[in-house]
Amino acid sequence: MLNLHTRTRFPNLLHARVLTEADENAPALILVQTGHPDQVITRREFRQHARAYAYALHKMGMAARDLVIIAHTQNLESVYAFWGALLLGAIPSMFPTLTEKLDPALYMASIAELVNLSQVRAVLTTDDFAAQLAPRVTCSVYGSTALLAEVGTGEAPRYVPDPHEVAFLQHSSGTTGLQKGVALAHERVLNQLASYSSALALSERDVIVSWLPLYHDMGLIAGFILPLFQGLPLVLMSPFDWVRHPALLLRAIHNHQGTLCWLPNFAYNHMARRVRHADSEGLSLASMRAFVNCSEPVRADSHAMFLERFAPHGLRESMLTVSYAMAENTFAVTQTPIGQAPHIDWVDRRALMEDQRALPVPPDSPQALAQVSCGAPIVGSEVKVVDEQGRPLPERHVGELMIRSDCMLMAYYRRPDLRPFDAEGWYDSGDKGYMADGQVYVIGRTKDLIINAGKNVYPQDLEAIVNGVEGVHPGRAVVFGVPDEEEGTELIAVVAEVDTDDPQEHKRIKQAIRQAVARASDVSVNFVTLVGAGWLIKTSSGKISRAKNRDKWLAEQSGQA
């Protein structure tokens, strides 16, 4: 297996064990779908399909170094197309397909801009969407029928990639386009896989289970490339299927003895609240080594809720780990030790908000706020905290998190106007946080920070409070700042989805939101707006977009005025 000791044996991603190992009958991928038998794809079958898709892309006119966008619903076709493109030497990039979460006009315009900026050679997508997209872009667009018609037994030209050249692109979470495509070289990806595999103590006995979308760095790297490169069974399911049937993940872990699974923080709450006891009866999580919380600020109460709900099924606190990751670093920057619950740092809420200091306090202190450790940087990655002028800050001072590593992006693809690194090779993550005892604590995104009456308010903290108010649809609240020119500060606005139209119930919920926030955070909410299901705008990865919802709310307020 690839690890820090064997790194030099693997010059590029085409040395993936799924493509090279002799044990052809070993399972490479197991596709799990609600209402269908599990579909097992062996290494032999995986290899044959990947080569067939490479040949199909070659017949369709694609060649080495061409950028190919894969915009399918998550299925085997997208899996094979990605690896087929790698075999051909093309540059694949997974892209979200158009769903009801995305605005169709914005999505089309975003892809058209991407095609022009990045000189895309072809877009592979569904038949229905291909017909809609083709008139809007200047590159070739192929639906599933056209692609499958070219899949055959011929051989595509053999390509041997240079370790320093671009292997694939991925894009940061929240974008609907690839205007800032993160260009990752073979060597950088392999450095990440080697270091992160060592941090995870990965072994031949591991089985990785994932529902994560492949256009997101967590899904693409941890839940796709890592297991296939290392030759570990990958149990994969559609994110749409999982959202509707969250017990599907538990069943997959039980049936296939899963050991590792990555989840964003909201998924812990979603599963704890939505998995019915009847659906989890008889299922065991005892085979798991770690659930890894990643991609969102981690909340101690989410872990506690998840643990309480699934402890009867073999879940142990030591299985709940954390990673801080980003697409620009390929994936992981940090990881808490496997087999240990992450450290919880209890800090003074007022000092954090007003002084930007993470001062330790007892857990039972009235101002105690729990901050969950993301762990120490993995080998090859460094983290420092700086102030607004770029000067290093001491421990327990909140500032900008800067990252430097051997698995960073080469550049933003075909964007020479964007320079991601400073003179010393440090990358500004856009996150705020602090370090203590060598561990990284992430507070939130710099751009989302609200400055209210001299206090630094992190909206995700208030959102967690609002989501606990009775009557608010769990996970459907957003908090953002609204400039108040007269007072020279920002006011705090809350928008929350509710399931009732009753005016009296609305009045009660609004009052409950104001009281809950004031009681738990020592700040006052200035605006509370209750909306119906579907009002809130989400990003392509399913996260609620604070910026877009703020713009929508302001537009509606202006219209009402």
What distance in Å separates the CA atoms of residue 479 and residue 440, rounded to the nearest whole number?
Answer: 25
Mean pLDDT of 409-413: 94
Is residue 410 one of the residues assigned to a domain? yes
Q: Tokens 């700040």 sit at which residue? A: 523
Mean pLDDT of 257-264: 97
pLDDT at position 442, please? Answer: 95
pLDDT of residue 15 exceeding 90: yes
- Do 436 and 463 sit in the same domain of this protein? no
pLDDT of residue 174 exceeding 60: no
208 membership: H or E segment, kind and range: strand 208-210
pLDDT at position 172, please? Answer: 61
- Do 269 and 356 sit in the same domain of this protein? no
User: How confident is the model over 336-369, as pLDDT tens digits?
Assistant: 999 999 999 999 999 998 899 999 999 999 999 9
pLDDT of residue 507 exceeding 50: yes
* 264 or 31, higher pLDDT: 31
* 419 or 90, higher pLDDT: 90
Helix (H, G, I), strand (E, B) or coil at 457: strand
- Do 316 and 361 sit in the same domain of this protein? no
What the block records as the tokens of 327 is 């697409």
- Do 123 and 200 sit in the same domain of this protein? yes
In the chain, what percentage of residues exceed pLDDT 90? 75
User: How confident is the model over 193-237, as pLDDT tens digits?
Assistant: 999 999 999 999 999 999 999 998 999 999 999 999 999 999 999
pLDDT of residue 553 exceeding 90: yes
pLDDT at position 446, please? Answer: 85
- Do 186 and 48 sit in the same domain of this protein? yes
pLDDT of residue 487 exceeding 70: no
- Do 155 and 108 sit in the same domain of this protein? yes
What the block records as the tokens of 159 is 């390509």
Residue type, 248: L
**Sorting pLDDT into bands at 50, 70 and 90, what band is 180?**
confident
pLDDT at position 262, please? Answer: 98
Q: What's the domain count of the chain? A: 3
Which of 506, 524, 513, 424 lies closest to 477 in space, CA to CA? Answer: 513
Is residue 329 one of the residues assigned to a domain? no
- Do 395 and 487 sit in the same domain of this protein? no
**Sorting pLDDT into bands at 50, 70 and 90, what band is 176?**
very low
Which residues touch 510 (CB under 8 Å, ≥6 apart)?
528, 530
What distance in Å separates the CA atoms of residue 8 and residue 24, rounded to the nearest whole number?
Answer: 24
Lowest-confidence pick of 128-142, 434-448, 451-465:
451-465
What's the farthest any 2 CA atoms get from each other in the chain?
71
User: How confident is the model over 104-141, as pLDDT tens digits?
Assistant: 777 788 888 888 889 999 999 999 899 999 999 999 99
| Domain coverage including residue 440 | 344-446
**Sorting pLDDT into bands at 50, 70 and 90, what band is 295?**
confident
**Sorting pLDDT into bands at 50, 70 and 90, what band is 505?**
very high
Question: Would you tell me the crossing angle of helices 503-521 and 459-467 to the nearest 10 degrees?
Answer: 130
- Do 11 and 154 sit in the same domain of this protein? yes
Average pLDDT of the residues of the chain: 92
- Do 293 and 419 sit in the same domain of this protein? no
Is residue 327 one of the residues assigned to a domain? no
User: How many beta carbons lie within 10 A of that of residue 375, not counting itself?
Assistant: 24
Which residues touch 66 (CB under 8 Å, ≥6 apart)?
90, 91, 121, 122
pLDDT at position 222, please? Answer: 98
Is residue 285 one of the residues assigned to a domain? yes
Global pTM value: 0.88
CATH of the domain at 416: 2.30.38.10
pLDDT at position 178, please? Answer: 47
pLDDT at position 479, please? Answer: 95
pLDDT at position 175, please? Answer: 38
Is residue 470 one of the residues assigned to a domain? yes
**Sorting pLDDT into bands at 50, 70 and 90, what band is 545?**
confident
What distance in Å separates the CA atoms of residue 423 and residue 418, rounded to the nearest whole number?
Answer: 14
What distance in Å separates the CA atoms of residue 543 and residue 561, rounded to the nearest whole number?
Answer: 30
- Do 435 and 483 sit in the same domain of this protein? no
Choose one of 322, 352, 386: the last residue of a domain.
322
Choose one of 429, 446, 463: the last residue of a domain.
446
pLDDT at position 177, please? Answer: 43
In the chain, what percentage of residues exceed pLDDT 70? 96
pLDDT of residue 558 exceeding 80: no
Which of 48, 50, 11, 28 lies closest to 230 in space, CA to CA? Answer: 28
CATH of the domain at 488: 3.30.300.30
Which of 92, 104, 106, 150 lies closest to 128 in space, CA to CA? Answer: 104
User: How confident is the model over 31-50, as pLDDT tens digits?
Assistant: 999 999 999 999 999 999 99
Is residue 43 one of the residues assigned to a domain? yes
Is residue 334 one of the residues assigned to a domain? no
- Do 95 and 132 sit in the same domain of this protein? yes
Is residue 36 one of the residues assigned to a domain? yes
- Do 95 and 33 sit in the same domain of this protein? yes
Choose one of 389, 424, 446: the last residue of a domain.
446
Which of 241, 242, 235, 232 lies closest to 264 in space, CA to CA? Answer: 242
**Sorting pLDDT into bands at 50, 70 and 90, what band is 102?**
low
